[in-house]
């Protein structure tokens, strides 16, 4: 606990320096007074944080108005590739083929991060549910179908596990959250990787999975469905008061998901030149096993210089001052070195 507090204090001090060096809320001279309309679409994972950022930024810069359609990462990528939005958003970034199809050029910008949790709906357990790696893989493979299964009991000997069918809840839309979750399952299970659904933004789920659109839809379906368990961004589960399983990490430790549990993973992350980094099975005894970045998708060339300037200033604000709003909504601040790298990429946008 002391180590975590020291880490958070150090992160706060470094962040103060980053915000100061980036000029805080100063608006670029390239952005002239007058209404600028910016439209985006994509991931549902960061949508609550985006909404907060838009509102706070508008207070400071009333000349810039944002709209965002939370349609899922896959649809967001499609709209961005088609040139139908000013920016996209995806928890799965973009692959090389998608990037190559955009003649105006693409700049991926990691903008925030968060934990993906396994939220469930069970009454009277008497404590938190702990799920070993092989157990939650087999739950989503449809092989463990009852909550009183011996393997779940073995990991939770003191819990009052019900004689009840397990119903998994998954995304029906093309989703970066699905990509991150399935990437993790593939990393820890050869069965999932080679003979199961594999990795993707949209999957054919085994067993009796119920499907719902968006993180909000999955969380809502879990809330009303006894015996259900599903994968969802931490903030959505937290806002509905859904219990969340403690997951076994690579080091064999059961880690409680909360608004700090991904910090150790992010602090040890380095980004390659293309700004894509995934950690499907992170090292470290304190690392929560399911953490992902989410990216903004920006064009390198915009037809409207004023819009380009507005977007650059907004994204810089999100990467500095805006990070202060992350934790209250269940997201993770970017490590300062990651945010600094991301700010530097904005120089290539015109």
Does the structure show a pLDDT above 50 at 29? no
Average pLDDT, the chain: 90
My answer on whether 24 and 107 are in the same domain is: yes
Does the structure show a pLDDT above 50 at 247? yes
Does the structure show a pLDDT above 90 at 263? no
- CATH number, domain of 67, equals 3.40.190.10
Does the structure show a pLDDT above 50 at 114? yes
Give pLDDT, residue 22: 46
Q: What band does 35 get if pLDDT is binned at 50, 70 and 90? A: confident
My answer on whether 301 and 248 are in the same domain is: no
Give pLDDT, residue 326: 94
Closest to 299 in 3D by CA, of 289, 311, 287, 288: 311
- Enter the tokens of residue 143: 């092989």
My answer on whether 143 and 259 are in the same domain is: yes
Count the domains in the chain. Answer: 2
Q: Which region among 20-34, 37-51, 243-257 has the lowest average model confidence (pLDDT)?
A: 20-34
Once rounded to an integer, what is the mean pLDDT over residues 19-37?
50
Residue located via tokens 């015996």: 227
Distances (CA, A) of 81 to 89, 165, 307, 345: 11, 42, 18, 20
Which range marks the domain in which residue 33 is found?
A: 2-114+273-279+287-348
Q: Which residues are CB-contacts of 43 (< 8 A; sequence separation ≥ 6)?
A: 70, 72, 73, 76, 89, 90, 91, 175, 176, 177, 294
Once rounded to an integer, what is the mean pLDDT over residues 229-236?
96
Give pLDDT, residue 336: 87
My answer on whether 172 and 147 are in the same domain is: yes
Tens digits of residue pLDDT in 191-216: 999 999 999 999 999 988 999 999 99
Closest to 278 in 3D by CA, of 191, 184, 200, 189: 184
My answer on whether 344 and 220 are in the same domain is: no
The pLDDT > 70 percentage for the chain reads 89
My answer on whether 99 and 14 are in the same domain is: yes
Once rounded to an integer, what is the mean pLDDT over residues 24-50?
74
My answer on whether 307 and 246 are in the same domain is: no
Give pLDDT, residue 34: 53
Give pLDDT, residue 10: 43
pTM: 0.88
């Amino acid at each position: 606990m002391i180590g975590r507090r020291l880490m958070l204090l150090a992160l706060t001090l470094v962040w103060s320096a980053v915000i100061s060096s980036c000029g805080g809320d100063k608006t670029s001279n390239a952005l002239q007074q007058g209404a600028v309309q910016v439209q985006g679409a994509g991931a549902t994972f960061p949508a609550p944080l985006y909404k907060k950022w838009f509102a706070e930024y508008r207070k400071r810069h009333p000349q810039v108005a944002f709209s965002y359609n939370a349609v899922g990462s896959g649809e967001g990528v499609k709209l961005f590739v088609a040139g139908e939005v000013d920016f996209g958003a995806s928890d799965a970034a973009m692959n090389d083929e998608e990037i190559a199809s955009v003649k105006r050029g693409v700049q991926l910008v990691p903008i925030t991060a968060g934990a993906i949790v396994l939220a469930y709906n069970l009454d009277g357990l008497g404590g938190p549910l702990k799920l070993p790696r092989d157990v939650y893989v087999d739950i989503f493979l449809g092989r463990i179908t009852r909550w009183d299964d011996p393997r779940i009991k073995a990991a939770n000997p003191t819990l009052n596990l019900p004689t009840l069918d397990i119903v998994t809840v998954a995304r029906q839309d093309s989703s970066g959250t699905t990509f991150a979750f399935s990437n993790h399952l593939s990393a820890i299970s050869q069965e999932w990787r080679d003979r199961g659904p594999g990795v993707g933004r949209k999957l054919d789920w085994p067993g009796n999975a119920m499907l719902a659109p968006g993180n909000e839809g999955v969380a809502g379906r879990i809330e009303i469905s006894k015996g259900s368990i599903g994968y969802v961004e931490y903030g959505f589960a937290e806002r509905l008061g859904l219990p969340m399983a403690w997951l076994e990490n690579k080091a064999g430790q059961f880690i409680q998901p909360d608004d700090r549990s991904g910090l150790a993973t992010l602090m040890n992350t380095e980004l390659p030149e293309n700004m894509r980094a995934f950690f499907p099975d992170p090292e470290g005894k304190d690392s929560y096993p399911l953490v992902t970045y989410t990216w903004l998708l920006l064009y390198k060339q915009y037809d409207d210089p004023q819009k380009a300037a507005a977007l650059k200033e907004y994204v810089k604000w999100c990467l500095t001052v805006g990070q202060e709003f992350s934790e209250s909504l269940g997201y993770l601040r970017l490590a300062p070195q990651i945010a600094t790298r991301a700010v530097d990429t904005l120089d290539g946008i015109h």
